[in-house]
């Protein structure tokens, strides 16, 4: 599809604009068709879907498997929440809401692709919405992660009794998933909408900035998100590793201590002795030991006053208490290590409860150290990012300021310092080279302008001298012509007197010879003298007409009447009334079309223009069968146009420019004239600020078209 010409302030159809060559008022190049609505929709949906599924389900495979220590019941609830919340909350925040924001853009693209007019105000709205959409999608993605994790963790804690230690390890997943998914959706949406934003920017030319964000902000935000994501993966994983080591150590210690205590307890029969020995099996400040029978009843006092083992809330106790002894980590409700050992063969079981929190001092110090490391890393990232981005934005700011000074003030003395060794230095060098070339071009243009001004002044002086000479010559030559014309008229009665004298002399002399001689002299004087006088008179008339034309040309634009609004239809009526008799004699048909009714011009001069064109059309009609003269025109906001078309003998292409030169006549047919008429017409139109053109082919008639400006800005003739 070829380049489209389009009015920037008025809507125009894309299909209509493709066939236009130019337009009036303010015109700009439309950069082809807008991006395809289907392709653009696919690009944004692809970015949103990748962000949703990669960062929505990715942490379940990485963060969850590395950091969370859950039993199968808690994992079932976790999986259920994942596969429920991601489609619901994530789909609503990352797909449905962005689609509602994107839908006006999609509708505008569909309308433009159907060939509807591209309205500038609508294009501005599409441009601004496309620039704001990435921010909205990024915030919606972060909100989806935040809401989803809060709801999911709350439900798992409530339904599966997840320990608070595991709940706290879930919190870093919010910046991990929310930050990375928000950043990806932001940059992915920018990339997907780039063709559309670029098209709108080229169409609008000078689009205003929307939601301006510096490169430093973008860089720092992205770097911090990546740093937090890395820390969110590493710190909980390290914490979980230390937690597993602590649990394993505590499990072995609890079981070993319980084994020794049970062995010693079997040696005593009294219940009081057994209870006192059980205290030796307690591990940690909050641990305790108790004995239960085969029915689950507690045989020893419980620190919380429980009477049955079910009140302890141990997950799958009956399935776990198999064999003679064992130990495991229970993460339902309270995070604890449970160890058991059978006491004799009557079914009594000794249970020992130990809590990892009693031994969490190193873990707490690790958490504090990790938080300190996180703060330090973020500080280092911010500090590094600030200086790094300043190294980028400072040269760009200098480049922007220099470009703005050149654009606003035309100051070509700008020079951008080259302070780096990377691609920015290449940009600065290219900019400086461009400024040097512009400076050299401007100097050359100024030099040529001065030369042109001098040449123009010289030509103006020469033209003035020529006009003065033409006016003086035209005026001064008329006086001798008038004298010659007067003397030639006085010679005619003298000739009549001489002829009368010869007739009288012939009558007085009866001699035949003398009469014959006098008659011969009389005939010679009468014939040759009369012919010479007629030739002198005709030459004087021709010379007078030529001088009148030259004088008229010299007066065009000098002390001219002021412009007034005139109706070209009335001027044409006056012209046709003048030539009505000639056109009837030559059987020429006139075709009229409406002409502009309010055109600023000098009526008499435009009357002479149209009269000259109509006269030429009549004179050079030739012996054609279809004899007509067509007159018409049109007007727009800037110009009024009028044309005179005929079916005459036509003009060759090689003579289209030459016919407007003074004293130029085409020798196609023998007609009277001095070759001044079209030069006179051209000068009149130039004094109005208009121009005249001809379209003609030999044997196919001619069309003379002239334009007049609709404003009153005039040009010296």
What residues contact 206, with CB distance under 8 A and at least 6 apart? Answer: none
The pLDDT of 668-686, averaged and rounded, is: 71
The pLDDT of 251-259, averaged and rounded, is: 87
What CA–CA distance (Å, rounded) separates 334 from 163?
6
- State the pLDDT at residue 573: 92
Rounded to two decimals, what is the model's pTM?
0.50
Neighbours of 48 (CB within 10 A): 27
Question: Which of residues 70 and 648 earns the better pLDDT score?
Answer: 648
Confidence label for 203 from pLDDT (cuts 50, 70 and 90): confident
> Do strands 336-343 and 589-592 pair parallel, antiparallel, or not at all (unpaired)?
unpaired
Tally of residues, the chain: 717
Mean pLDDT taken over the chain: 77
For 228-244, b/e burial (b = at least 16 CB within 10 A) is: bbebbbebbbebbeebe
Encoded tokens for 198: 């670029």
What CA–CA distance (Å, rounded) separates 615 from 619?
6
Do residues 329 and 166 make contact, with C-beta atoms less than 8 angstroms apart?
A: no
Would you say residue 97 has pLDDT above 90? Answer: yes
Chain CA centroid to CA 711, Å = 33
Question: Which among 216-220, 297-301, 521-525, 558-562 has the top mean pLDDT?
Answer: 297-301
Q: Kindly list the distances between the CA atom of residue 711 and the CA atoms of 109, 534, 603, in Å, as whole numbers in the listed order.
A: 40, 51, 16
Q: Does domain 564-709 have CATH number 3.30.565.10?
A: yes
Domain ranges of the chain: 1-33, 36-212, 258-360, 448-555, 564-709
Q: Taking the domain 258-360, which CATH number applies?
A: 3.30.450.20
Encoded tokens for 467: 């006009």
What CA–CA distance (Å, rounded) separates 135 from 196?
17
Do residues 303 and 364 make contact, with C-beta atoms less than 8 angstroms apart?
A: no
What CA–CA distance (Å, rounded) separates 250 from 283?
8
Do residues 406 and 412 make contact, with C-beta atoms less than 8 angstroms apart?
A: yes
**DSSP structure class, residue 293:** -
Do residues 554 and 471 make contact, with C-beta atoms less than 8 angstroms apart?
A: yes
The pLDDT of 234-249, averaged and rounded, is: 77
- State the pLDDT at residue 238: 73
Picking from 419, 415, 413, 411, the residue whose alpha carbon sits closest to that of residue 395 is: 419
> Do strands 628-635 and 589-592 pair parallel, antiparallel, or not at all (unpaired)?
parallel
Encoded tokens for 245: 């080591």
Tens-place pLDDT, residues 322-371? 888 889 888 777 788 999 988 777 778 888 999 888 877 776 777 677 77
Do residues 101 and 171 make contact, with C-beta atoms less than 8 angstroms apart?
A: no
The pLDDT of 581-602, averaged and rounded, is: 90
Do residues 35 and 109 make contact, with C-beta atoms less than 8 angstroms apart?
A: yes
For the CA atoms of 565, 570, 572, 573, the dihedral, rounded to the nearest 10 degrees, stands at -170
The pLDDT of 34-41, averaged and rounded, is: 91
What CA–CA distance (Å, rounded) separates 404 from 413?
13
What CA–CA distance (Å, rounded) separates 468 from 543?
19
Element (H, E) at 442: helix 423-508
Do residues 173 and 60 make contact, with C-beta atoms less than 8 angstroms apart?
A: no
Strand partners, 639: 709
The pLDDT of 538-553, averaged and rounded, is: 64
Tens-place pLDDT, residues 3-37? 333 333 334 444 343 333 333 333 344 457 788 99
Element (H, E) at 518: helix 512-555
């Amino acid at each position: 599809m070829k380049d489209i010409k389009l009015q920037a302030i008025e809507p125009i159809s894309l299909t209509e604009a493709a066939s236009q060559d130019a337009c009036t008022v303010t015109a700009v190049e439309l950069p082809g068709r807008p991006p395809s609505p289907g392709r653009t929709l696919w690009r944004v949906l692809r970015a949103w879907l990748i962000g949703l599924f990669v960062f929505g389900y990715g942490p379940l495979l990485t963060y969850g498997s590395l950091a969370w220590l859950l039993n199968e019941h808690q994992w079932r609830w976790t999986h259920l929440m994942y596969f429920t919340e991601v489609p619901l909350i994530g789909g609503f925040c990352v797909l449905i809401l962005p689609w509602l924001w994107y839908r006006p853009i999609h509708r505008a693209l569909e309308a433009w692709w159907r060939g509807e007019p591209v309205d500038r105000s609508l294009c501005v709205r599409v441009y601004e919405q496309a620039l704001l959409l990435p921010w909205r999608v990024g915030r919606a993605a972060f909100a989806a992660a935040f809401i989803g994790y809060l709801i999911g963790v709350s439900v798992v804690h409530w339904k599966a009794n997840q320990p608070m230690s595991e709940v706290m390890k879930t919190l870093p997943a919010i910046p991990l998933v929310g930050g990375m998914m928000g950043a990806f959706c932001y940059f992915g949406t920018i990339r997907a909408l780039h063709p559309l934003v670029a098209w709108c920017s080229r169409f609008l030319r000078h689009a205003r900035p929307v939601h301006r964000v510096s490169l430093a902000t973008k860089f720092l935000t992205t770097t911090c998100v990546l740093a937090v994501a890395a820390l969110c993966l590493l710190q909980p994983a390290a914490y979980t590793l230390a937690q597993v080591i602590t649990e394993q150590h505590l499990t072995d210690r609890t079981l070993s201590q319980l084994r020794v205590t049970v062995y010693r307890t079997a040696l005593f029969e009294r219940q009081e002795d057994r209870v006192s020995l059980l205290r030796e099996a307690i591990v940690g400040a909050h641990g305790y030991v108790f004995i239960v029978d085969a029915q689950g009843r507690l045989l020893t006092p419980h620190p919380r006053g429980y009477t049955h083992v079910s009140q302890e809330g141990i997950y799958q106790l009956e399935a776990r208490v198999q064999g003679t002894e064992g130990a495991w980590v229970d993460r339902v409700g309270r995070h604890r290590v449970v160890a058991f050992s059978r006491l004799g063969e009557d079914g009594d079981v000794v249970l020992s409860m130990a809590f990892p929190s009693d031994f969490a001092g190193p873990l707490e110090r690790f958490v504090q150290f990790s938080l300190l490391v996180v703060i330090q890393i973020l500080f280092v990232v911010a500090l590094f990012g600030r200086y790094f981005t300043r190294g980028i934005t400072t040269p760009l700011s200098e480049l922007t300021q220099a470009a703005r000074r050149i654009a606003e003030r035309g100051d070509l003395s700008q020079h951008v310092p080259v302070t780096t060794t990377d691609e920015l230095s290449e940009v600065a060098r290219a900019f400086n080279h461009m400024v040097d070339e512009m400076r050299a071009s401007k100097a050359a243009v100024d030099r040529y302008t001065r030369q042109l001004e001098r040449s123009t002044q010289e030509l103006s002086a020469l033209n003035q001298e020529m006009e003065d000479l033409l006016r003086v010559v035209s005026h001064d030559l008329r006086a001798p012509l008038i004298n010659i014309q007067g003397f030639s008229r006085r010679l005619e009665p003298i000739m009549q007197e001489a002829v009368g004298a010869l007739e009288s002399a012939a009558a007085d002399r009866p001699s035949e010879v003398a009469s014959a001689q006098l008659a011969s002299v009389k005939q010679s004087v009468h014939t040759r003298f009369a012919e010479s006088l007629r030739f002198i008179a005709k030459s004087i008339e021709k010379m007078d007409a030529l001088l009148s034309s030259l004088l008229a040309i010299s007066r065009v634009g000098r002390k001219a009447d002021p412009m007034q609004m005139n109706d070209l239809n009335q001027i044409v009526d006056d012209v046709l009334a003048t030539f009505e008799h000639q056109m009837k004699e030559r059987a020429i048909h006139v075709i009229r079309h409406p002409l502009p009714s309010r055109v600023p011009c000098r009526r008499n001069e435009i009357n002479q223009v149209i009269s000259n064109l109509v006269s030429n059309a009549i004179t050079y009609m030739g012996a054609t069968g279809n004899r007509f003269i067509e007159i018409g025109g049109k007007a727009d906001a800037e110009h009024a146009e009028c044309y005179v078309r005929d079916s005459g003998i036509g003009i060759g292409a090689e003579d289209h420019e030459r016919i407007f030169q003074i004293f130029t006549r085409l020798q196609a047919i023998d007609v009277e004239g001095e070759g001044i008429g079209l030069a006179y017409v051209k000068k009149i139109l130039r004094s109005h600020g208009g121009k005249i053109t001809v379209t003609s082919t030999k044997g196919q008639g001619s069309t003379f078209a002239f334009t007049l400006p609709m404003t009153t800005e005039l040009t010296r003739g």
